[in-house]
Amino acid sequence: MKNWLQAHPFVVLLLPLIAGILFCNRTGFPFDLQKDTAVPWINTTATFAAVIEDYPVERTNSWRYTAKVYNIYKESQPESTFGRIYLYIGKDSTRALPNIGDCVLFRTKVTRADSIGTFDYGTYLRRQGIAGQAFIRSHWSVIGHTDGGMMLFARRLRHRLIERYCELGISGQELGTLSALTLGYREDLDPDIKRAFQRSGASHILAVSGLHTGIIYMVILALLTCFGRFNPLYEERKRRVAISIIIIIIMAFYAILTGLSPSVCRSVIMLVIVQAAYMFYRRPIALNTIAAAAFIILCLNPNDLFSVSFQLSFAAVLAIIYLEPFFRSLIPIPRTGIMASPLRYVRGLITVSLAAQLGTLPITLYYFHQICNYFLLTNLIVIPLAFAITITALATLTIGWIPSLGIILAPALKWLTWILNQYTAFIESLPGAYSVL
């Protein structure tokens, strides 16, 4: 037992941390987890100055922005404050919409979000760092602009990459799916496609996580070692450290680019820990690596403990580590033969899907009240498709500007994404595809 505790120090730290977060969330002692959104100007009509932090998201009658309030004006005098809000600008406004990085002055009333049925939407937004919401039409003006930091740069880059997809002729449902799968931007997802992914058991494909970061990691490592030709150089210590640092920087930026969701943070932190251990000739321990990722995420934002993405991501990876070997042992495959490798690949898809589904089942039942009955049939196709789409998207965005390659890669990318959408819709249409509980 003593040796186990020494080998898993982050597990020992994580459990008291989770207990402390639950205690604080329940009692508010010694501090409120939502203190960053406990702003004094909620339900107050005032003049605010805020920085637009993201591109607009279209709603039925308005455009929704994420804005960071930095000043409130009382008797014409600005007072520094802080808080993020959802700022809605009505579509009936005749003025040009603000851009990301614009400093906007507006007068309105900021309120908490109302509950939707039994769903406490206001508390949900506060756990996402959103203090409230406000609606404006014409009472606003742009008073400046800021280039912002890394987050604004990453959001501009993500928007530019989505525009690049559009320039290549990708639009509609394919654009929404591709933006979610490769860049973590889900605001353009078609509602019918989103429902099809949920009911067919493929919604994990749309959340950037271990599958996506693993593909990016393999591509980077292959390029840095010239597809394995210079592995002996990689084994040398200096080159090993240099390549590892490059990988860590790129993976960290990819996490920022895709929005820093708990699932992508978990997978990137785990990859960084594994790569750092490899850099110093250490062998990482799976459970300790998972616990370290959870510990870091919860230290940075304790409210992530209540995020469905956080819970599903860690439940899935724990189930894969501890249940997948058992399922694999139930399906023996010959070690040699022409069909050995393809059969092992198919077995891996089946066993990983079974383990992940079983590990996340209690959470999906609690939040979504449904079971996807054909998840095995779904994952046998959508996981290879997601791999192919991610690789093709990387090639399209990096070398697709070459005319002779662009005319091949762009249509192939659109076609693969179309197949993914059609296949999930087909699974959804099958009798008994999902059960509502």
pLDDT tens readout for residues 319-363: 998 899 998 988 888 777 777 788 888 888 889 889 998 999 899
Under the banding of pLDDT at 50, 70 and 90, the label for residue 425 is very high
Give the residue-averaged pLDDT of 46-51: 93
pLDDT higher than threshold 70 for residue 47: yes
Quick one: pLDDT at residue 287? Answer: 86
pLDDT higher than threshold 70 for residue 384: yes
Residue 9 backbone dihedrals phi, psi, to 5 degrees: -65, -35
CA distance 285 to 272: 13
Quick one: pLDDT at residue 25? Answer: 84
Under the banding of pLDDT at 50, 70 and 90, the label for residue 242 is confident
On the CB side of 148, CA atoms within 13 Å amount to: 20
pLDDT higher than threshold 60 for residue 234: no
Answer whether 363's CB lies under 8 Å from 311's CB: yes
pLDDT higher than threshold 70 for residue 220: yes
Quick one: pLDDT at residue 401? Answer: 78
Under the banding of pLDDT at 50, 70 and 90, the label for residue 4 is low
DSSP summary character for residue 190: -
Q: What are the structure tokens assigned to 51, written together? A: 């920085």
pLDDT higher than threshold 80 for residue 170: yes
**Is the four-CA dihedral 331, 332, 335, 338 of positive or negative sign?**
negative
Interhelix angle 375-399/172-183, rounded to 10 degrees, is 90
Residues 6+ away with beta carbon under 8 Å from 327: 350, 351, 354, 355
What is the percentage of the chain residues whose pLDDT exceeds 90? Answer: 24
Q: What are the structure tokens assigned to 316, written together? A: 């899935």
pLDDT higher than threshold 90 for residue 6: no
What is the percentage of the chain residues whose pLDDT exceeds 70? Answer: 96
CA distance 402 to 259: 29
pLDDT higher than threshold 80 for residue 420: yes
The candidate with the shortest Cα–Cα distance to 317, out of 204, 196, 190, is 204
pLDDT higher than threshold 80 for residue 41: yes
Top-ranked range on mean pLDDT: pick from 49-53, 126-130, 143-147:
49-53
Give tens-digit pLDDT for 62-111: 999 999 999 998 777 888 988 999 999 988 767 788 999 999 999 999 99
CB atoms near residue 360 (< 10 Å)? 19
Give the residue-averaged pLDDT of 164-182: 90
Give tens-digit pLDDT for 249-302: 888 888 888 888 888 888 888 888 888 887 777 777 888 889 899 999 999 889
Q: How far is CA 430 from CA 140, 199, 220, 385, 425, in A?
A: 50, 10, 39, 20, 9
- Of the listed ranges 45-59, 226-240, 386-400, the least confidently predicted one is 226-240
Question: What H or E segment, with its residue span, contains residue 40?
Answer: none
Residues 6+ away with beta carbon under 8 Å from 333: 340, 343, 344, 347
DSSP secondary structure of 42-106: TTEEEEEEEEE-S--EE-SSEEEEEEEEEEEEETTEEEEEEEEEEEEEETT--SPPP-TTEEEEE
Give the residue-averaged pLDDT of 298-307: 90
pTM greater than the 0.85 cutoff: yes
Under the banding of pLDDT at 50, 70 and 90, the label for residue 11 is confident
- Mean pLDDT of the residues in the chain: 86
Quick one: pLDDT at residue 85? Answer: 93
The DSSP bridge pattern shows strands 77-90 and 62-74 to be antiparallel
CA distance 318 to 292: 13
